[in-house]
Amino acid sequence: MADVQIMTGNSAAAIAVKLSHVQVVAAYPITPSTSIPETLSQYIESGELKAEFIRVESEHSALTVCISASTVGARVFTATSSHGLLYMHEQLHWAAGSRLPIVLCCANRGVGAPWSIFNEQQDSSAQRDTGWIQIYCRNNQEIIDTVIQAYRIAEEVYIPVMVCYDGFVLSHTMMPVEIPDADLVTDFLPPYKPHTIVSPDNPKNINPVIFPWRRLNAEGVLCDGYMEMRYKLQKSLEDARDVITAVSRDYADVFGRDHSGMLWTYKTDDAEVILAGIGSVASEATVAADALRDQGIKAGVVGIRVFRPFPKEEVKAAFRHAKAILIFEKDISYGNEGALCSDIKAALYGTGSKAPIHNYICGLGGRDVKAREIAEATRSSLDEIASGNTEPKSIWLNCYTG
């Protein structure tokens, strides 16, 4: 019989970490992710989780501990939000460049200044170029399932994974969650096999200063230079698309829940206007799409689940018949447009798509984004396109711009 409980997104994340038999948890509290390490500390104290809980003085140190522990062969976890993630920035690069399969949960929150504790996706979006896989969840069930999948993905491709979900909207909202069977999780997630081994019997330098060019080491082996290492990380990220899709499919076979691989779609088969987004805003757009269809507008939704590596081929397929594309996102690449909008445009370049694209910046700092507002924005965009104005456009939704 299924074990279904009512819980928050943070509780779902903590249970997933416990089920994944993590061995080291490093933590420094920051709203709205704090209750994840708090719950894990209780599991460790009670003996439910056999792991070390390392209390540190900053988020930078939390990820540093994870890097060190992963290097010597431990399965590790940390969680953060907002400025905590930004404070980790240097070590995000270090973890990816070291090819360490760390899993981090980011409960998305606005960044200052001005100060905000409420939701947006600017924190993780700003870190999209650090070499981490980024997976975004739309509900609490997806959080628990994705964290488990993240360890298998990370340990197959040796790239760290950031599991992102909207702060407060999901982190503190309670909803039904089916807890996966612990024995099935153990079978699904084999023990971590580290590619770095620290041993006094075989001393090695780890991540020394490296030259621009390839060169022979002391044993006469031709070793990569800096650029070759960057290429291999990029190639592995590109190849990770297949692994992410396969792991998602395997998970569905075992546990009966399929959150899709790189992206998910809703009523797109005959859609003429497609609403796109990441996380809970894309989930809200499905309600808007239903309302629009009741009014005779053929609307569908594309939810981007994996932002890095970006699902270029899947985007091409999902948008191929669209006559209009509206992108709703909780971030802004200052001086340009929303980060998701830019990536979708790049993916569609050269495909012959002539669909007008409107980019809606919304929900920053926790401002509500309701389904009826998404539907109203869609009707407004379609009216403008019907009038003959097909130029790309960026619009700030529910924002006074006068």
Chain segment 242-266, per-residue pLDDT in tens = 999 999 999 999 999 999 999 999 9
The class of domain 3-188 in CATH terms is alpha beta
**Topology of the domain comprising 264-396:** Rossmann fold (3.40.50)
The residues pairing with 24 across neighbouring beta strands, listed in sequence order, are 52, 76
Q: Would you give the DSSP letter of residue 98?
A: T
Question: What are the residue boundaries of the structural domains of the chain, listed by start?
Answer: 3-188, 264-396
Question: What confidence tier does 1 reach under pLDDT thresholds 50, 70, 90?
Answer: confident
What local confidence, expressed as pLDDT, does residue 218 receive?
A: 84
Q: How many whole angstroms separate alpha carbon 139 and alpha carbon 374?
A: 19
Do 264-396 and 3-188 fall under one CATH topology?
A: yes
Q: Which pLDDT band, with edges at 50, 70 and 90, does 198 fall under?
A: confident
Q: For 26-62, how does the pLDDT look when each residue is reduced to its tens digit (9 = 90+)?
A: 999 999 999 999 999 999 999 999 999 999 999 999 9
pLDDT confidence bin for 274, thresholds 50/70/90: very high
377: its two tokens: 């924005």
Tell me, what's the pLDDT at 211? 87
Record the pTM: 0.97
Q: How many CB atoms lie within 10 A of CB 206?
A: 9
- Whole-number pLDDT of residue 201: 85
**pLDDT at residue 109 is higher than 90:** yes
pLDDT tier for residue 156 given thresholds of 50, 70 and 90: very high
Looking at residue 265, what is its pLDDT?
98
Residue from 261, 231, 235, 227 nearest 247 by CA: 261
Q: How confident is the model at residue 2 (pLDDT cuts 50, 70, 90)?
A: confident
pLDDT of 363 reads 97
In angstroms, rounded to a whole number, what is the distance separating the alpha carbons of residues 16 and 135? Answer: 15
Question: For position 121, what pLDDT does the model report?
Answer: 98
Distance in angstroms (rounded) separating the CA atoms of residues 54 and 66: 9
Q: What's the whole-number mean pLDDT along residues 119-126?
A: 98
Structure tokens at 174: 């309670």
Length in residues, the chain:
402
Dist. CA 18–CA 1, nearest whole Å: 21
pLDDT band at residue 301, thresholds of 50, 70 and 90? very high
357-379 average pLDDT score: 97
Positions of E strands within 56-160: 76-80, 103-108, 133-136
pLDDT for the residue numbered 202:
79
Tell me the average pLDDT across 382-394: 95
Distance from C-alpha of 164 to C-alpha of 12, rounded to nearest angstrom: 13
| pLDDT tens-digit map of 201-231 | 878 788 888 889 999 988 899 999 999 999 9
Q: Give the whole-angstrom CA distance, residue 46 versus residue 178.
A: 23
Average pLDDT, the chain: 96
